[in-house]
Amino acid sequence: MTAQLNSSGASSDHAAHWHSIDWARCHREIRRLQARIVKATQEGRHGRVKALQWLLTHSFSGKALAVKRVTENRGKRTSGVDGITWSTPKIKLKAVLSLRRRGYRPQPLRRIYIPKANGKQRALGIPCMIDRAQQALHLLALEPIAETTADPNSYGFRSARSTADAIEQCFKALSHTDCAKWILEADIRSCFDEISHDWLVANIPMDKAILRMWLKAGYFHHNVLYPTAAGTPQGGIISPTLMNMTLDGLEHLLRLKYRRSTRNPSKVNIVRYADDFIITGVTREMLAEEVIPMVGQFLAERGLSMSPEKTRITHISDGFDFLGMNVRKYGGKLLIKPAPVSVQRFLRKVRGVIKGNAMVRHDTLIKKLNPMLRGWANYYRHVVAKQTLSKVSCAIWHSLWRWVK
């Protein structure tokens, strides 16, 4: 690979072969540009931010890393409406060189449906490979801003953050003897599908023309083209970041209203993971009469709303479910356990695998079950789960005993 660095730090690298690309150097150059984007964002130099984003999205390193991402993730063999996948080194390198702003126009999405835990179906929009790569490229330039301006207690779809961090924050907010006793469990109705396009274009700091084209690309289902009037498709690489940036600012709004002080001990805290969040408060009335209307107005400006059926206010002694965990105080002591609903869902899944493999060898079944069991146990390793794990182990043992017989 040959390379030249211009005065702005962007790379004009090119490579004769896909395998000759110096990936370490690509990562260094992109990290350097992203650090400069962060610095310019913190200083409020929006013109500088746009210039640095332009450098990144036009750099060979950025394009190469974007193509690398979409050709190595889980959906690399899933095509969009054009039926094309990038599977060979030659095609991948050609894709890098074809990622241009001029003349680019995204194709409609391929709509598929996958089952949800509640029996309903979730719509996924599958972009073409070229559109995925363009999204991955622009995400490299957008993510530094998103991370810099993100709410402190937002944990979903962010680097170096997880559900365990969100649950830990719940523990910090609710474990003290004088903490808030009431919790608002908020549910946003069809968050990804309802976000206002106008709000996104006006507020997301990226190439407005490209963003608008992505949002308005439409989708094919059963060979019929449908327009998209709102929302950002689940399945798009950049969609989780767009959703996070849409909801960022809610924590700041609450902190402005409920500043912590001895005169105003409202004890309002928010913990958010993607579009799932809880808000704590000192009284039910405060959450119902002040917080819910405030959150509702914040969401309405973005084309969103809370689901009245699924949004509820709970006392900590009754407990609430969040991210597969049940958070509840027993005699003044906060315990976080696996949620019973999540346990039953997991057991149904395991039993389905066992029943669906009635005629296979035992070692084949073990290979299928072990990753499921290990992943589930690891997810709950940070909480009070000994009793639950024992019950799950017993239930699976009985299912396997029936399978053997």
pTM of the model: 0.92
8 band by pLDDT with thresholds 50, 70 and 90: very low
358 — phi, psi (to 5°)?
-65, -25
Please list the helix, strand and coil fractions of the chain in percent, rounded to the nearest 5, in that order: 50, 15, 35
Residue 264 has pLDDT above 60, yes or no: no
Give start and end residues of each alpha helix (H) in 189-329.
Answer: 191-194, 197-203, 208-215, 239-247, 250-257, 284-286, 292-300
Closest to 211 in 3D by CA, of 190, 236, 248, 192: 236
Determine the average pLDDT of the residues in 277-292.
96
Q: Which domains does the chain have, with CATH numbers?
A: 18-149+197-230 (no CATH), 164-192+245-334 (3.30.70.270), 340-404 (no CATH)
Residue 266 has pLDDT above 80, yes or no: no
Closest to 192 in 3D by CA, of 156, 226, 223, 166: 156
Q: Quick: pLDDT tens for 97-115.
A: 999 999 999 999 999 998 8
Residue 11 has pLDDT above 50, yes or no: no
What percent of the chain is modeled with pLDDT above 70? 95
Residue 6 has pLDDT above 80, yes or no: no
Exposure string over 81-95, b if 16+ CB within 10 A, otherwise e: beeebbeeeeebbeb
Closest to 191 in 3D by CA, of 82, 105, 303, 296: 303
Give the integer Cα–Cα distance in Å for 243 and 209.
18
Closest to 166 in 3D by CA, of 251, 57, 48, 263: 251
Residue-level pLDDT at 263: 54
Q: Quick: pLDDT tens for 142-178.
A: 999 999 999 999 999 999 999 999 999 999 999 999 8
Residue-level pLDDT at 208: 97
Residue-level pLDDT at 4: 45
